[in-house]
Structure 1
């Protein structure tokens, strides 16, 4: 009986020693984790907490901590991109407002100060002044439209839309301009009606912007094309040309607010940098997507993909 008691005491002692060592090990591991986290936060690094342990609970905790660190890095990156985008947007917006306002001021001063100006010259100046004011109003309206579209409570009514007719209508509206530019027009629209859940006004605005951009920037290729095709549960509208295209370094950014290529600020190529942003948001509001693929003087295409409906 006494021997059994000694054995039990020995076993309990061993268990206490093991528990003490285990608690000490856990405490040491938690201390290492705390120091590592503090170091990551202090130095703002993208490191992970990597500590070897056979404690299952601590392993699970490490997994969740590293997931949280990944999320934190994503938030920081998104914030940095948003901050940079906002800075560039303000810079571009100030440029796009300052230039026409300076021109408008010049015209006003000419009308006010130039006493030798003839009535005919005054008429020309008034006409140009009127055009510049309209351009400025258009720019401001586009900016406010984009702000409205990007708001969380913005919803557009959707209904069953036949894309065949929308595409034909928009190409026809540019027929005179295409003819005046001497462009070869390649239109591929199937006879079979293809339907999506969309908004006619939004689609007209999207295609108007894409077609006008293609003519403005791609007419040096001599060809304009529009292709409507059916995929597996999708309908694709591709608007393309064979012009100088868009350099690869710009392709990921053309949909950003107020982002314009250098030549878009040339008087020959007046662009606000808002059209593609608005088009992208409108397409996304119809559960679609838009993609750019460009090879200079070979093919530059904007591809809009929508979900097909068959009912």
Structure 2
């Protein structure tokens, strides 16, 4: 189809040039005949032919000289607009939106100009870069906020500790707050580093075959001080499943989900951990009896730095990166992670992974 369109384009140009030459030669013929009759001279046929041909080419050159700048002017306008758009993008201004019809103003609707695709590509590139820039600015803003809050607390309480008249009880309280904020900063730094490593295309995945049920039992027992301290009823039902995955990354995934469930489950609550296998996939469901998540928050729960309950999450020391790490690890293993929840009825996180990815 494209070859046929190219052939028709060439044929049309050949016909137009031929018609232009024919018109110039015709004008040269009648002009030369008028001049011969005016000066009363009849040249030889060969000489008359050469003069007529030369004069026709001169007329054709004059026409090209007159029409050429008009055509070049339109092309210059088109390329100048594209160059200005690319310059804006290079300066960081991604609000570029060229009119796709600009490249097709002189073309027919059924035969679009080939530059239309170029204009659309520039628009797509600008739109994608704008999305990336918005995400970058949002990321910087979130990081600055998450770092700024504990630093402000540390600075304020450290300044208060300079008071020599402060009693020991209050001093211990302020020191504990400073220590807590330092731990929070350290955890934020670790999570940011993990995300940077996971986002890197050079991240080496070390996948092996291992028993997933044994890994989950080990991690649940490792978290026993946390859930036992809150008197949480931990119910674990696991099938024997062998999976091919990066064991270290899986540990990070399950730790984040289990800690998240423990954090939001009230004292005396319940957490269920189920592991099943079927149709080449394994499914892990972790259900808590916490406050639940609204439908609106569920749509953004895996975004970086997103917190469903800002005040509650901040009080519990969250940074909004744990579930982002979970989502990234699951994505790297070609699986899916989802959440189902109703406000006041807890939340269920379901991770589905291929047995052999």
Could you state the TM-score of these two structures normalised by the residue count of structure 2?
A: 0.64
Please say if residues 221 and 244 of structure 1, whose CA atoms lie closer than 8 Å, have aligned partners that are also in contact: no
Please say if residues 184 and 224 of structure 1, whose CA atoms lie closer than 8 Å, have aligned partners that are also in contact: yes
Q: 1:87 to 1:179 in 2, by over 3 A?
A: same
Equivalent position SS for 2:340: strand
Who wins on radius of gyration, i.e. which is larger?
2
Specify which of 125, 129, 148 is matched with residue 79 of structure 1: 129
Unaligned residue ranges in structure 1 (runs of 5+): 1-15, 25-33
Q: 1:157 to 1:109 in 2, by over 3 A?
A: same
Q: 1:73 to 1:301 in 2, by over 3 A?
A: farther
Unaligned residue ranges in structure 2 (runs of 5+): 1-10, 20-74, 86-95
- Is 1:165 matched up with 2:214? yes
Separation of aligned partners in 2, 1:203 and 1:147: 17
* CA deviation profile, 1:100-153 (whole Å, cap 9, x unmatched): 1011111211222x1202345434433332232222122112212211221111
- Is 1:188 matched up with 2:253? no
Please say if residues 224 and 241 of structure 1, whose CA atoms lie closer than 8 Å, have aligned partners that are also in contact: yes
Specify which of 282, 285, 288 is matched with residue 335 of structure 2: 288
In the alignment of these two chains, the number of paired residues is 279
TM-aligned CA deviation for residue 77 of structure 1: 4.4
Structure 2 counterpart of 1:269:
316
TM-aligned CA deviation for residue 265 of structure 1: 6.0
Specify which of 205, 223, 226 is matched with residue 177 of structure 1: 226
Equivalent position SS for 1:201: helix
Specify which of 176, 193, 196 is matched with residue 147 of structure 1: 196
Please say if residues 242 and 296 of structure 1, whose CA atoms lie closer than 8 Å, have aligned partners that are also in contact: no
Equivalent position SS for 1:244: coil
- Is 1:212 matched up with 2:212? no
Could you state the TM-score of these two structures normalised by the residue count of structure 1?
A: 0.72
Q: 1:201 to 1:282 in 2, by over 3 A?
A: same
Q: 1:154 to 1:86 in 2, by over 3 A?
A: same
Please say if residues 97 and 123 of structure 2, whose CA atoms lie closer than 8 Å, have aligned partners that are also in contact: no
- Is 1:110 matched up with 2:160? yes
TM-aligned CA deviation for residue 163 of structure 1: 0.8
